[in-house]
């Protein structure tokens, strides 16, 4: 599972955890999140995220 970071505010989406409070279950891959989804902290689009190397 991968992690994706918002380049604007630093918020991190973890595929393993998902985002249940927004209806995204644990294990949801980044590719499966709708393109119109927005960062829950700053509101930028999915395009403003980069995959984190671990």
What residues are designated binding site for Fe cation? 6, 9, 39, 42
User: Residues 11, 41: contact at Cβ < 8 Å?
Assistant: yes
Residues 6+ apart with CB under 8 A from 33: 13, 24, 46
The whole-angstrom separation of Cα 45 and Cα 9 is 12
Report the binding-site residues. Answer: 6, 9, 39, 42
């Amino acid at each position: 599972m991968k992690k994706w970071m918002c380049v604007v505010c630093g918020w991190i989406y973890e595929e393993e955890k998902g985002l249940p409070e927004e209806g995204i279950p644990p294990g949801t891959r980044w590719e499966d999140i709708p393109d119109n989804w927005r960062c829950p902290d700053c509101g930028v689009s999915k395009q403003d995220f980069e995959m984190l190397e671990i």
